[in-house]
Structure 1
């Protein structure tokens, strides 16, 4: 019995010593500690507002509020480049899109377009507005998803708002296509169509019978799909499958019910 106790105590001591040696090794090797930190992907938030620009310090500018995510660590350069291009594309949906190199230039152009608009139509009460926000929806060992909500107004009867998802493969940092989210895209599409018809009470064979406008009268998955720990979320933004008046259409499935179709 005494021998067993001595062996147990010795094992505990050796385990603790190894852990302490490992900690001490990292402490004494700052380069190794930095490498470990760089391999851990961190997601932070950054902001750009119209009041940061010189022209807005002396003039009434359109309201611009851009809160976006910035990755730091493994594959962060790839992720940040894709995300910046993605956000710039939102600004390019305005009446006069153009090529810009970064987000600050995109906001600057949005402000400049507003002043051009006011010079051409000085009597109009309309004011430009851009509000964009991002949040980290999920981050696992293999999947990172950003959720982006935005609203743009550049005159006219109404602005345009939408919710979008941006998915990344954390094994290589690449942006994922919707098809890459699924092991069986066709099977999932058939499942989603069945649920879509149930939710929107489509009893006719024609998917567009209740006022939807899928191309060629064929059901299609939306442009924006997200997979969380518990759910699969499908969002059809205005004009994607229905009129602006019908607003955003959303389907949410329990992940356990569709996991056989998923890669993540």
Structure 2
């Protein structure tokens, strides 16, 4: 009886491993536009492979794009497709030019996606959005998205680390070193907090603070890189 149980357990284990191996995930770059589009340029990675996983990842990427093009106060943005949001952005630009024909200001929307890192367990994607709708300057926002390769589920920052507190202490040291000679440029340099954007690249972990997150617009984006060798004991994924 025990022998049969062990054989059954082995079969289940091999079956589960086979299922994991079958869930291959690849990416191709696509350009998204519409026939009426004049001011929006979108180049993003599209997941292909296991349908359930790919659909989950692509859906989340598309949500980021729509929310970049359409103000968050617009309730339609939660159900709108990317092509619909492109056309709406263009319609708003046409309306602006109609209302202010003397204006020389041109609108611009550029959204690019990049695979920063991919392993057998996790993929990190950066979505960079630049919007200029006639203000004093454009608005650049970068979003890091981390996904479980087997499920397509977006991972929270806490999911990336076995020991989140230890990682926070390591990140704090790197942060303090990065801003040591320019602390006067930051809002609260002695009150460290992790950024919303944490992702992986080939060298290690990236911390990215968008404009206005911890410093004024003039300071730009703050990016901090922490090498793998300093994080081995804290990571859930490699």
Common fold: TM-score over 0.5: yes
Per-residue deviation at 1:36?
10
Per-residue deviation at 1:164?
2.2
SS at match of 2:116: strand
Deviations 1:60-102 (A, max 9, x none): x4x2110111111221111111111122111134896742521
After TM superposition, list the pairs within 5 Å mapping 1:216-235 onto structure 2: 218-235=191-208
- Aligned-pair Cα RMSD in Å: 2.5
Match of 1:8 in 2: none
Per-residue deviation at 1:109?
0.8
Per-residue deviation at 1:230?
2.7
Question: Is 1:53 matched up with 2:35?
Answer: yes
SS at match of 1:210: helix
Per-residue deviation at 1:146?
1.1
Question: Is 1:65 matched up with 2:47?
Answer: no
SS at match of 2:185: coil
Per-residue deviation at 1:139?
1.6
Q: TM-score, normalised to structure 2's length? A: 0.82
CA distance in 1, matches of 2:74, 2:20: 45
Q: TM-score, normalised to structure 1's length? A: 0.74
After TM superposition, list the pairs within 5 Å mapping 1:11-30 onto structure 2: none
CA distance in 1, matches of 2:22, 2:231: 35
Question: Is 1:123 matched up with 2:105?
Answer: no
Match of 2:210 in 1: 237
SS at match of 1:119: helix
Higher relative contact order (CA 8 A, sep 6+): 2
Cα gap change, 1:169 to 1:105, in 2 (>3 Å) = same
SS at match of 2:58: helix
Contact kept in structure 2, 1:38 and 1:73, CA below 8 Å: no
Contact kept in structure 2, 1:94 and 1:154, CA below 8 Å: no
Task: Count the aligned residue pairs.
Answer: 216
SS at match of 1:106: helix
Larger radius of gyration: 1
Unaligned runs of 5+ in 2: 1-18
SS at match of 2:168: helix
Match of 1:146 in 2: 125
Unaligned runs of 5+ in 1: 1-34, 204-208
